[in-house]
Homo-oligomer: A and B are copies of this chain.
Amino acid sequence: MSRTPRKYDEHLDKTPANFVPLTPVQFLERAAHAYPDKIAVIHGQRRYTWRETYARARRLASALTKRGIGKGSTVAVMASNTPELYEAHFGVPMTGAVLNALNVRLSADDIAFILEHGEAEILFTDREFSTTVRKALEKLGTPIPVIDIDDPEAGGVGERLGEMDYESFLAEGDPAFAWTPPADEWDAITLNYTSGTTGNPKGVVYHYRGAYLNALGNVAAWGLNHEIVYLWTLPMFHCNGWCFPWTLAALAGTNVCCRKVSADAIFGAIVDHGVTHFCGAPIVLGFVINASDAERRPFDQTVNVMTAAAPPPAAVLARMAAEGFKVTHAYGLTEVYGPATICAWHSEWDALDMEEQARLKARQGVRYPVQEGMMVAHPETLEPVPWDGETMGEVFYRGNITMRGYLKNPAATEKALAGGWFHTGDLGVMHPDGYIQLKDRSKDIIISGGENISSIEVEGVLYRHPDVVACGVVARPDDTWGETPVAVVELRDGATVTEAELIAFCRENLTHYKCPRDVIFDALPKTSTGKIQKFLLREHVRRLIAAGEA
């Protein structure tokens, strides 16, 4: 027998028949093909089928292309969870351009920074946010075209800033626009700014490959099928809604939009539209738990909720379970496409009492099936910690749902991906069963209402006040928001500034939600070299809170 050692390397090349760059846009094409008349998007009185959603996304792509938008361009969208932002998740990539969904809670300064840094070439903006956006646009060195999203569900608030509205823009486009997959699945598909651990937002660049894979990762990790009816309680601007816009298309499920999350909106959608799944920070669970009897409505289906950012407490889980909600705990960061870790449930745990279930579910869990590696390891040596549930280390990821890097920031990218692993900056332990548990969020991050707040950024503002000598900002637990920032401040001798004055000062210089809710005048724990010891500071604040002194 003649041997041909290179038999598997020869005459078996990639061709257009057997290799297509991965793109989640094709999921929409398939949904429109297989389920053309099924409702894809519900928003107030509006309904769009999959055929219509595909046509609208193609119109959007076509109209953008006519204006010169294409590969290398950034398209910014300032919007709530409305059909327009959903469509942008497909229509923008169809042109080869990059979608930059903006956090609608940011200040005008932040928005201006992001538009400048991301070099947005066009902005779609919902009227509701016109006050912020107008200020941001005034700060731009070069004006950019603006298209208004005029959503009837917004109640007519806000003014129009742009040259035309979104529907008129769509009308310019061809519903049969011939889009193509990216030349390379490594191309950028979206840009998501995170406050990160330093003051200025960093632009996290997602690739098509990761977007496609995490769309399917959600399906496999959460056991989804095409009967899903998904309520948009999680902002689509947040890690592209954890990639769920693409997941819903892959399944040809139904999206239920939501401008404003409330108990009323949640129970209404569950009953009126048969919602089966939603995601969100603990604040979203709070809406369910704290709903009034008037807001609460009975329903039959099990509603699955994926939550991240803080472990759901036992009491919350018990209450949710009793009311027909099944909570799954997940964890991730913008840099890993949203959830990349899930507390994968074991059916035998159902037999445990609720306290024990809550203890198990408080762990963040195991890696997503589409993220190839996760470990808890020494921050510098990358040596994994023992699986003892006690030894702290940093959480690291590697795999295909990890960002390409930070836009125009090679130093930060190199640091974040050093050693072949993404450094989360979050600290945790590895339990003996291989489940991770976060023990401390990254030293600099406070998570309030699901949004990251950089304590360094807040401290930077406080330090600008003439009376502040030293300060440290840490999180305090909050029933509504998860966490809120609290500042510990040392004043110069003889200073008379009050807590209210310092908070007001912050509000003048920061996005509202980033401002400290409490200011404590006290000495800061420091190292011998004068570095503030955040860990001790957090302990100190906790003691003060426990003692009722803060």
A-B contact pairs, 11 of them (CB 8 A): A1-B142, A8-B98, A12-B188, A16-B398, A16-B420, A18-B210, A18-B400, A27-B369, A33-B434, A34-B366, A35-B346
Q: Are A30 and B366 in contact (CB under 8 A)?
A: yes
The answer on a CB contact under 8 Å between B404 and A12 is yes
* Contacts A18-B403, A30-B367 supplied; 19 other A-B pairs, CB < 8 Å: A3-B119, A11-B405, A11-B413, A12-B413, A13-B405, A16-B398, A17-B397, A17-B419, A18-B207, A18-B210, A18-B398, A18-B417, A34-B366, A35-B346, A38-B346, A223-B224, A223-B251, A250-B369, A252-B344
**A210: nearest residue on chain B (CB-CB)?**
B18
Task: Determine if A150 is an interface residue (Cβ-Cβ < 8 Å).
Answer: no
| Bound Cα distance from A351 to B71, whole angstroms | 47
Q: Per-position contact with B for A214-244: 1 when CB-CB < 8 Å, else 0?
A: 0010011001111100000000000000000
Task: Tell me the nearest residue of chain B to A252, going by C-beta.
Answer: B344
A residues 1-33 near B (Cβ < 8 Å) are: 1, 3-9, 11-20, 22, 26-27, 30, 33
Contact B219 A7 (CB under 8 A): no
Does A422 sit at the interface, judged by CB under 8 A? yes
Task: Using CB atoms, name the residue of chain B closest to A209.
Answer: B19
Q: Which residues of B contact A481 (CB under 8 A)?
A: none
* A399 contacts the other chain (CB 8 A): yes
The answer to whether A20 touches B119 (Cβ under 8 A) is no
A324 at the interface (CB under 8 A from B): no
**Nearest-neighbor residue (CB-CB) of A72 within chain B:** B5
Report which of B116, B397, B405, B433 forms a contact with A1, defined as CB distance below 8 A: B116
Contact B434 A34 (CB under 8 A): yes
By beta carbon, the residue of chain B nearest A27 is B369
B223 and A11 within 8 A (CB)? no
* Structural contact, A26 and B372, CB atoms closer than 8 A: yes
The answer, among B15, B373, B408, for a CB contact under 8 Å with A417, is B15
- Cβ B17 vs Cβ A398 within 8 A: yes
User: For the complex, is A130 an interface residue (Cβ under 8 Å from B)?
Assistant: no
- Are B20 and A220 in contact, with the CB atoms below 8 A? no
Chain B contacts of A224 at CB under 8 A? 223, 225
Lowest 10 A-B CB distances belong to which pairs?
Answer: A223-B225, A16-B420, A18-B402, A11-B410, A12-B404, A17-B417, A8-B188, A34-B366, A20-B372, A1-B141
Check: A523 CB closer than 8 A to any chain B CB.
no
Query: For residue A26, which residues in chain B have a CB less than 8 angstroms away from its CB?
Result: 372
